[in-house]
Amino acid sequence: MSKVALISGIAGQDGSYLAELLLAKGYEVHGVIRMNSMHAVKNSDYRLRAIEKNITFHVGDVIDSRFVHSTVDSVRPDEIYNLAGQSHVGHSFSNPSYTAQVNSDAVLEMLTTVHQATWPIRFYQASTSEMFGNAEASPQDESTPLRPVSPYGEAKVAAHNHVAHYRDTYGLHASAGILFNHESPRRGANFVTRKITLGVAEIVAKKRDIIPLGDLSARRDWGYAPEYVEAMYLMLQQDLPGDYVIATGESHSVKELCEYAFSLVGLNWEEHVTSEPSLLRPKEIAELKGNPARARAVLGWQPKITFHEMIKIMLAADLESLGVGERLT
């Protein structure tokens, strides 16, 4: 009999890759999707188009506790992957209340629903490296103190603590993946990696000439999203729940990313990139770099796609989407 998985945030980058992975493993996949995401099926970049006929959708919002409870009760999932949330750090500064509601309060309601279920459910929570803030120790691992510097990070810390509480107090098989930045051609265009690769493609296509960015010196640990959802799956296959840092162990600056992406099409990044004060966050994290040793030792997980390979994959996809037959160097 097939396992049943319920994925909240299934229309996002991670949700779409995870749904593909679980379907390939023979799961019955259900997805929570908001009404405005359902409208996206008309868009050319709709992430679930190739697999939507194999998914049962449940239209609603995770901040609606009655919807969450009734959906879980009707689906009776073996596994729940909570990938829903307000995922943009910058936007959290302008809308902290909603960020807290969807990224923290909704998680508490989900855990309560799982705890009250009459059958065993394994729960995955999407935690984030943003919880570390400007950490004193580098690289960061599962024991690094959490010092968030944004409403997004604060809400994710609260949710992370909810998971630990329900796991320790009630014995739930609840795990949190502390995922560092992970990217792909399906990354939203408002995130810096896609701003850059899509911007380069648009410059090649003569649609624009400048890419305005924020802090070019910020360094992040960037990995490839399809590999990171494999780690999510592996966490829920373990006999015991736990928290895992999922990262590459390397960090690169936004400037490095720009330099490499432009070099792939033979252009000088300095002629096309500006750093705009208006795009700077009230509080920026200088560097994040993860230590995935525990994931490697316990889950057998480690990244394969390199930073440069990932950028090349993303840029090639953006060039293709614009019908630009540019050969990458």
Q: What is the pLDDT of residues 235-271, one digit of tens each?
A: 999 999 999 999 999 999 999 999 999 999 999 999 9
Categorize the per-residue pLDDT at 91 as very low, low, confident or very high, splitting at 50, 70 and 90: confident
Has residue 88 got a pLDDT over 90? no
Per-residue pLDDT at 7: 98
Q: Is 289 a residue whose pLDDT tops 60?
A: yes
Predicted model pTM: 0.94
At residue 41, the pLDDT reads 53
User: Each residue of 136-169: pLDDT tens digit?
Assistant: 899 999 999 999 999 999 999 999 999 999 999 9
Pairing outcome for strands 28-33 and 223-224: unpaired
Q: Residue 36 has what pLDDT?
A: 66
pLDDT in tens, 190-243: 999 999 999 999 999 999 999 999 999 999 999 999 999 999 999 999 999 999
Catalytic residue among 71, 113, 128, 144: 128
Beta carbons within 8 Å of 83's beta carbon, 6+ residues apart: 7, 8, 9, 10, 12, 14, 15, 18, 126
Residue ranges and CATH numbers for the domains of the chain are 4-182+223-246 (3.40.50.720)
CB burial of 165-204 (b: ≥16 within 10 Å; e: otherwise) equals: ebbeeeebbbbbbbbbbbbbbbbeeebbbbbbbbbbbbbb
Q: What is the pLDDT of residue 94?
A: 82
Joined tokens for residue 202: 């648009």
Of 273, 207, 226, 220, whose CA–CA distance to 249 is shortest?
220
Q: What is the pLDDT at residue 302?
A: 96
Q: Compute the average pLDDT of residues 173-200.
A: 96
pLDDT bin (cut points 50, 70, 90) of residue 315 is very high
Model confidence pLDDT, tens digit, residues 29-78: 999 998 766 555 555 557 898 899 999 999 999 999 999 999 999 999 99
- Whether 202 sits among the annotated catalytic residues: the reply is no
For strand 252-253 and strand 219-220, is the pairing parallel, antiparallel, or unpaired?
antiparallel
- Active-site annotation holder among 20, 28, 109, 130: 130
pLDDT of residue 35: 73
Residue 178: is its pLDDT beyond 80?
Answer: yes
121: pLDDT strictly greater than 90: yes
Of the candidates 81, 152, 224, 228, the residue annotated as catalytic is 152
CB–CB of 187/224 below 8 Å?
Answer: no
Look up 128 and say whether it is catalytic.
yes
166 is catalytic: no
